[in-house]
Structure 1
Amino acid sequence: MKSIKLNNVTASLGSQEQESFFVSRLNWQVESNQHWVLLGGNGAGKSAITATLLDQANIISGTRSCDFKRTEIVSSDLQKQLITAELLIDQDDITDGKTPATLVSELIFQQSNRPFDPQLCQQLINGFSFEHLLNQRLRSLSTGETRKLMLIKALSNCPDLIVLDEPFDGLDVDSCEQLNVILTQLKSSITMIFVVNRLDEIPPFITHYGYVKHGELQQQLANPDNKQRDDLFKLLHLQHTDLTIPSKDTTHAAPELSENVLVRLQDAQVSYSGKTVFKQLNWTINTQQHWQLSGQNGSGKTCLLNLITGDNPQCYNNDIFVFGYQRGNGESIWQIKQHIGYISNAFHMDYRVSISALNTIVSGFYDSIGLYQSASQTQLDIAAQWLALLGLSEFKNTPFTQLSFGDQRMLLIARAMVKHPTLLILDEPCLGLDEANRQRVLLLIEKICAAGTSTVIYVNHHAQDKIAGIEHYLDMADFRGVEKGARL
């Protein structure tokens, strides 16, 4: 069985004129008769990973091996190279050079040492209604016609592996249908790797799914079941959604704060039965200053958060300033909690009421487990907007307890955000989630940070769960909160 193997590969793509893009820690094996699709946002690195697979990148570390003898690629980058080369020929022609312009037929039928399938070539020409273009100059073709040319040439060259990077771009409806028919016909003889942005363009014969983000192949699914595929598609829905945080309910919002400082702890200490959990902890959280709080199990992360929320009685033994109040000066617990949105694994375990997905989000307006008040139409509309953002609108009336664990977690994060809290505390939000749902949660947090409506504290003990937009770090190492000057 033929295969291409990439073992812990780090590679760069680019030139002196272009900024390099890096592919990191790439472990990927593609075998004959597998058909892959790579999914991810724009700029995630899908094309860079396929270029690395085909040995078109500068491998910095790791190893690559390949048993496939004939590989082809159809991509926008290759299309640009083809057109650029023809422009140079045209310039030569203008300056009385002797290089003739290239005809379409020459590109398709030019002799090479590679096998060529004339019958398949003619089938593609007929299917794409391409016959009348064979004697045209390459430069006279439209973008869609150039893409058809590349597909005809690449598939007719009898590859045993082909990368099809957005193969349907620029094709009309009939041509897309014809291409699907031919690819289905060839699936038993050619290993195919697709890069697509639209989920409805994924061929039905795909056997393997890959999810790409930040130049890493973060998830690989072999013959996934419906749930695994649905979780991945929900992640992609969120990734491709232009995030507009639904507006707040102005009749049910916390008062605006006059100070930039949200939380300040000075020499904070917590002890139980003579054992110090942490001590000498100084921490100031300013508006729109997103933090990642990390530490080993038992280092006091949740304990520290409970000082802020008021759920730890030792908050009154410490010098703590929260949301304009100095702790212990007569403030109520609700004056503090009206500014906080909160989600943790423990809270998720406690949220066992069978209200609908919509009302689960609405309950965030009232900081309740379950909904015991009549929601306003404004609140219902805002909750519906959150469901749409998460790709869960179809589950609007589904009881919370009947949803998957990952969907429940996304709802509870929306519940914590729905009132636009001054401070959003996400305590180990990825705990218990599979890879696709972990990525969904991390992406949602990233989008919330970018929206600029709440200050975020993200708590975890996995350094690799880094989130764009979080630039401040607190580590509970040695049972003391020590702000780190560098990233985790």
Structure 2
Amino acid sequence: MTTTPSPPADRAAPLAVLDDVRVSFGGRRALDGACWTLRAGECWAVFGRNGAGKSTLLRVVRGTTRPDQIDGGQVTWFPPAGDDALPHPETSPLAGRALCTSVSSAQQERYMRQGWLLTGEELLLTGYYDTPLLYEDPGAERIAAARDLARRLGAAHLLDVKVPAMSQGQLRLLLVARALVRQPAVLLLDEVCEGLDATARAAVLGAVDHAAALGVTVLFATHRTDQLPACLTRALLVQGGRIMAEGPLAEVMANLPSDSGVCGGDGLDTPDTKDIAVPGMPGVNGGVALAPVLARIERADVFVERVHVLHAIDWTIRRGENWCVIGPNGSGKSTLLRLLHGEENVAVGGDIVWFADEASCGVARRGQAQQAQQAQQASLRDLPLLHRRVALVSDQLQATYGYDLTAEELVLTGFSGTIGLYDEPDDDQRAEAAHWLRMLGAAGLAGQRIRTLSTGQLRRVLLARALAGAPDLLLLDEPCSGLDPASRAAFLALLGQLARAGVQMVLVTHHEGDLIPEISHVLRLADGRITHCGPRGDGGMVPGVTA
């Protein structure tokens, strides 16, 4: 029988106590005997490799993931009971939900997948009730407080914007504000700075520090140790579902395992970036030669939920060019990649043409002034073909996969350019899917359900999906989001090998360190307009990308 812990007299009162907690997903142990106490006023960093159990730990503290039913251990919460009363222990997960608010990739994926037509202000106000949608009038006082918080976070301009029209970084910023709006006792943040530009990161980290100064307890899981709020004083290291170290932040950071590529129990192998074989890839090993022009955009205006996101875009991607697209959150980078992927329409008067030099490519022009409706219908019929030749890896695509596929099945969808798997794959396709999972160090994930994978694990599988279809052009929207340092270094090395093997790519990033040397051209956006378009500068530096 597990006994209820009592708070020691010499330390701050506990808020949550994990006692020998075990959590399993699909037969895989995500937490394995975790014992840990979170105390009021403490601010913790949580470190660990992809799949180590960090996100599961945060969900257990919040009460949204429960320990295994048999020998799963116990979580006890101690909700504050007022100045004159001792906290009363609770074992119901509802106590965790009352204590904690959180921001995570899974939460953001839900809003992206559902496409709810909330405004930014409505999204922010749902934080008072911990509900996904707004079901009641919060009152003038709460509305005023929420607007003030948005202003302090630099998000006031998003209050009238619909969620589907927001960039990934804009939505992440508002979800942080949503978590802070009701001034929780505990704030759980899982890779919260991913997808944010330097200005937005500074605003978010400053907001976390401000909350901590007011007494909020913080749990901050991250892979980027150079992007920590100043309030953090303690740290955990999670490996293979176990808490391997805890203590003062500086001490734990000084003893973090080397990021040389050792797996550390993350369920992944180290990608082998030597002598990459690219079966069927255009221009390689007997594949079809790349077209001189892969994509040409002319006079393109793009509207998303009636918001004018892109303005008069003129851009041509030619054979042999690898591009990076940079710009602040909300500048239109993700919309531009979705346009290249055929998921956004050009307004009448503009064009986008893929593979213009191929006489029978079968990919239609979009948004032409003449017969615009017929052209749009033709392009929709050609989307499966287009998606086989122009592949996308992004947070939004990741969010689209609500299906409970295995990792192998997800990779196999790359051959048809579809979200679900509708046709029985042949032996050659299965062999190529296995090849790319192996090349990305994810062969061990082939039979696992994608909803049981960590963000970093799923990102590798999505890249394998993109490559399995032998695309002419690979679109990468913040591809290193959610990857730990060792996985990020191996992933970028792999991209470099692919580029040298003839795979062309367009890369969106906020981080200078994510730019591989093979990037040859730069396009910079600001407020939906191109402010620079041309070869990469001398020395390989890209002004406007922040570390």
TM-score (norm: length of structure 2): 0.43
> Which structure's residues are more often helix, by fraction?
1
Answer with 1 or 2: which has the greater Rg.
Answer: 1
